[in-house]
Structure 1
Amino acid sequence: MSATLYYFDGRGKAEIARLTMAAANIPFNHETIREKKQFETMKSEGKLLFGQLPMVEFEGHQLVQSSSIARFFANRANLLGSNEEEKLKIDILFEGSRDFNSAFMSYGFVGFTEVLDKAKATAMPKYLPIFNSMLSKNGSNGYLVGSKISLADIGLLEVVLTIEELLGQDELKPYAEVQNFLTTMKSNELIHKYLNSKLRPRKNDEKYVAEVKSVLY
């Protein structure tokens, strides 16, 4: 059964859900919210528990909250670890990736270069060494925990792809394990298919920012 994702015409807070559904081999389609009326109707119908997007409809569920959506699909595909120790590590690292990712979420909404300059000065020097170290400690298999892809990897992938696209691969050169990780993740058949599909929205631009603001405000 396929899922339906409701979100704006961009990556935003829905991208972690898209990446996780892709890695979990869950087919999905995208219902784009472009008008305030669409958003208000969903709220009035009680489909958005906290009045926020994204929302995913799947097997009778109306799933909200980005991380919860990701965990739901990761659990279905056994991407949360094979024992209690792995589960704990994966959850901690996934949450760390969410903190890291937050440095880029306002890209375009509070400026373009301003957001990147701040991320380069604060978030990247803090988080990249940590994730590089964790990858190194786990061995040379290119994953953060265990010997296969997990939700922690999907969370980190989202941020590293953003860095690569918005700032260039040179920013990753000091972090050999992160570079190896990116290669490993991109070679995953399901991830590769999604990243090269029409289901993946474009990066934030002025048109997207204006469209989101017109729906929310």
Structure 2
Amino acid sequence: MSGKPVLHYANIRGRMEPIRWLLAAAGVEFEERILKTKDDLQKLRTDGFLLFQQVPMVEIDGMKLVQTRAILNYIAGKYNLYGKDLKERALIDMYVEGLADLNELILHHEFKPANEMEKDLANILDKATNRYLPVFEKVLKDHGHDFLVGNKLSKADVHLLENILWLEELKPDVLAKFPLLQSFKARMSNMPNIKKFLQPGSPKKPIVQEKDVPAVLAIFS
């Protein structure tokens, strides 16, 4: 093995996408072992690599880590994206947990039945624009710096940008009422490592197309 982290997941965003984002923001190259069938997932289970029988699983530093938040925390700590002290880490965790709640809504959207899509999208946008985005607009205003915590990039910033861009795929003008978040998005998107990740051909995954949903669901069923 090359020494690069190895990511085991299906070829979709899902719960692995925040991990891809964080590694990319840290400038860390990684490899992917794409699960294409249910048998691929079952082999990982049979081989004893999945502590709780679930992916994502990331091989890094001689470990086979599972559970998304544990993986993200390890990467953030390893690559200095987790604040300078306990107080900053508490703020980062608080913001990230809020973003995880928003992300949970978004990532399930592409798998909703067609007759529920419109209602589900309305719910996502309502919560995004009335509950979550106003919080981060206020944090940026009150904090007065380019980043959410301290004056240095953290995993909270990376997760916020990921969710903003995903929301904009669902509704391009979602940031219309949030000028500080618009500026934040522009700044973050131009950071060299992130800019590279946003280019075509990067490991960043697209939204799942309707025609591909059955094959994806079959892997995890």
Instruction: Kindly state the Cα deviation for residue 38 of structure 1 after the two structures are TM-superposed.
Output: 0.5
Residue 214 (structure 2) pairs with residue 203 (structure 1): no
Structure 1 partner of 2:143 = 138
Size of the alignment, in residue pairs?
Answer: 215
Separation of aligned partners in 2, 1:207 and 1:45:
31
Structure 2 partner of 1:70 = 72
Structure 1 partner of 2:46 = 44
Deviating more after overlay: 104-113 vs 39-48: 104-113
Work out whether residues 111 and 213 of structure 2, in 8 Å CA contact, stay in contact via their aligned partners in 1: yes
Alignment of 1:61-210 (within 5 A): 61-111=63-113, 112-141=117-146, 143-168=147-172, 170-196=173-199, 197-210=201-214
TM-score (norm 1): 0.94
RMSD value, Cα: 1.4
**Structure 1 moving runs of 4+ over 3 Å:** 111-114
1:171 alignment partner, SS class: coil
Work out whether residues 7 and 59 of structure 2, in 8 Å CA contact, stay in contact via their aligned partners in 1: yes
Which runs of 5 or more residues in structure 1 are unaligned?
none
Work out whether residues 104 and 115 of structure 1, in 8 Å CA contact, stay in contact via their aligned partners in 2: no
Which runs of 5 or more residues in structure 2 are unaligned?
none
Residue 16 (structure 2) pairs with residue 14 (structure 1): yes
TM-score (norm 2): 0.92
> Could you tell me which amino acid in structure 2 is paired with residue 184 of structure 1?
R
Deviating more after overlay: 101-110 vs 207-216: 207-216
Structure 2 partner of 1:34 = 36
2:108 alignment partner, SS class: coil
Change (3 A) 1:53 1:207: farther
Deviating more after overlay: 49-58 vs 198-207: 198-207
Give deviations 1:24-64, integer Å, cap 9, x for gaps. Answer: 22210111111111110101111111111111111211111
Deviating more after overlay: 109-118 vs 91-100: 109-118
Change (3 A) 1:211 1:114: farther
**Percent of paired sites with the same residue:** 33
Instruction: Kindly state the Cα deviation for residue 161 of structure 1 after the two structures are TM-superposed.
Output: 1.0
